[in-house]
Amino acid sequence: MNAMNRRDLCIAISSFAALAAVAAEAQSQETGTLPEVVTVPASTGSGTDAGLSAQRTFQFGDLPVVKTANGESRAVTRGVLPTGEAVELHETTLLPGHMPHPPHKHRHSEFMLIREGLLEFDNNGTPERVGPGGVIFAASNVMHGLKNVGQTSANYFVLAVGRESLATSV
């Protein structure tokens, strides 16, 4: 199986962002409410941007690396789209046998695009294995978790979309 390349990843992320915007709009029409505006710190050059209205690029080598006992992560961006959805995008490398944190649930939804390795997705108590090129969708308010069940580090991107602060993303 071929691993996902950066071009494929960019296309997938763009598609997921468009789908998330449509879903958020439909949800707000169903409930009769408008999406909340999420306040985050102004851009510091570290990938956090309170208003994601200007197009730009993110060079992988420029993303700040945060090392943890479970691996490392790189924040790409976090903020609010002009259409009102809060989004957060980061890349994670997870060591074999590790979890980023225990299973949990939150109000926002997440897409996880697996680049390398073998992850086990806790889908509300049901384990599902996902490898390179696979995509996981964690729905709002449903219990979920991840564990690297492979022999090598796993690498994946998380795109979180919601109406709340996205500080608790996988």
Q: What is the pLDDT of residues 1-52, one digit of tens each?
A: 455 565 565 555 555 544 444 344 433 333 333 233 333 333 344 455 567 8
Sheet strands (E) in 8-125: 48-51, 65-68, 71-80, 86-94, 109-116, 119-123
Residue 136 has pLDDT above 60, yes or no: yes
**Is-contact 77 89, C-beta < 8 A?**
yes
pLDDT of residue 97: 98
Find tokens 């809060």 and name the residue: 86
The domains located in the chain, with CATH, are 6-162 (2.60.120.10)
Which of the residue ranges 15-19, 24-28, 107-111, 112-116 would you say has the lowest mean pLDDT?
A: 24-28
Q: What is the 3-state composition of the chain as percent helix, strand, coil, each rounded to the nearest 5?
A: 15, 40, 45
pLDDT of residue 29: 35
Residue 142 has pLDDT above 50, yes or no: yes
pLDDT: which is higher, 26 or 95: 95
**Token reading at 50:** 């309170």
- Give the pTM: 0.71
pLDDT of residue 52: 86
